[in-house]
Amino acid sequence: MTRENDPIARFRSWLGEAEASEPNDPNAMALATVDADGRPSVRMVLLKGLSDAGFVFYTNQQSRKGGELAGNPNAALLFHWKSLRRQVRVEGPVEPVSDAEADAYFATRGRESRLGAWASDQSRTLADRATLECRLEETKARFGDGEVPRPPHWSGYRVVPTAIEFWSDGSARLHHRELFERHSEGWTMRLLNP
């Protein structure tokens, strides 16, 4: 399968170009989920893994996004690279990564980030900043100079793409759009009107 026919290979190529041109976080992506009432929610997360199986990000599973994904394991992603005048949309079901994958990624995070994963009750109401800072100090004391393991409520999710759309800016707003859709026999591509 050539890069033109393989949306994951094309995405890797575009991401490589973004890594060379974007001033900050070329792996930043908007993640859209829905709650139990069908109300959408979107936030920025970072792409931390990519394979033919899908797009991986990590979070506190007790966060709002974690709760929404538990109720409806489908999501949409959007990458926007302003300097390249490109964007990529991804849609598909979401599955948890393995404990081994989550442990391996967690071990690469800085110590303060690992401690923060224990201290933060992500997405829940915080009385004041001092409360969070106090919990962080308690967490530091708890682990001392020892290893900081991955919390049981912190892991990753893989968006398994069923659709990937590549968008390139065009003159006179005549943008170029290619939609790849996954079927049992592989990917098909069709052009979309701008």
Q: What is the pLDDT of residues 102-126, one digit of tens each?
A: 999 999 999 999 999 999 988 888 8
C-beta atoms surrounding 148 within 10 Å: 21
**Which one is catalytic: 173, 177, 182, 190?**
173
Q: How far is it, in rounded angstroms, from Cα 151 to Cα 6?
A: 36
pLDDT given at position 1: 53
* Half-sphere exposure of residue 57: CA atoms within 13 angstroms, side-chain side: 23
**84-111 residues labelled b (16+ CB within 10 A) or e (exposed):** bebbbbbbbebeebeeebbeebbeebee
In the chain, the N- to C-terminal Cα span, in Å, equals 26
Residue count (the chain): 194
**For residue 166, what are its two tokens?**
């590549």
pLDDT given at position 115: 94
**For residue 80, what are its two tokens?**
């926007």
Candidate CATH numbers 2.30.110.10, 3.40.470.10, 3.40.50.300, 1.10.3720.10; the one for domain 7-108+153-192? 2.30.110.10
**For residue 86, what are its two tokens?**
């490109």
173 pLDDT more than 90: no
Active site residue 173: yes
Mean pLDDT computed over 27-49: 97
Coil, strand, or helix at residue 43?
A: strand
Q: Are 81 and 14 in contact (CB under 8 A)?
A: yes
Q: Which helix (H) or strand (E) holds 67?
A: helix 64-71
Q: Note the pTM of the prediction, 2 decimals.
A: 0.92
